[in-house]
Chains A and B, each alone.
Chain A
């Protein structure tokens, strides 16, 4: 079956603009995660959804970052008033309800000019 997909694959924006990044998890996966990978570093956890609710948003760096998953499937990561430091690859992963493995999408590369 299809894996995790993320759109767009690349996003270039200007400082101060608003962006939305989308994640389509594997069908039937109830858990969804967002991570951020800065250049030369490992991914860092941002937020975790179980179903429609954010079970853990402790990794969101500040209140400019917000994520939703209104129907328990697709999720959108929203970044307001983007800053150059937000430039990174944003990775999404999903996991089945009983599983322990997270399956990652290809990521969205965000560049803030």
Chain B
């Protein structure tokens, strides 16, 4: 069975500083990997995804993530954080054909200091 670990429960970063959120997954085959963001009281919004090909993927809102098969990781990065990036971030792995049945990590809450 697949699993996802997000080691950092909370991260506090200053506005304008860089941000990196860690994600490690366990899955027996080639994974489909996703990062979602959830603002308070909101649903999940897809930031970016990896299915195959180039291991560095670009997403919305200036985010990028790098798939590293050797490390079973899919870390999310942003070079310069804005106050509006304060939210909870979830990494997920999709199992089966066409990425059915997502398994999510526990999430990382990002706080942005002015």
Q: Which residues of A are interface residues toward B (Cβ below 8 A)?
A: 4, 31, 33, 35, 40-45, 48, 55-56, 59, 91, 93, 95, 98-107
Contacts and interface: CB of A to CB of B under 8 A. Distances in A.
Given A41-B107, A42-B104, A100 B98 contact: yes
Contacts of B103: 45
Nearest to B51: A100
Contacts of B36: 104
Interface residues of B, number: 25
B90 A43 contact: yes
Contacts of A93: 44
A41 B101 CA distance: 17
Contacts of B99: 95, 100-102
Contact of A106 (B43, B94, B98, B105): B43
A45 to B, nearest CB: 5
Contacts of B49: 100-101
5 contacts: A4-B43, A40-B107, A48-B101, A100-B94, A100-B99
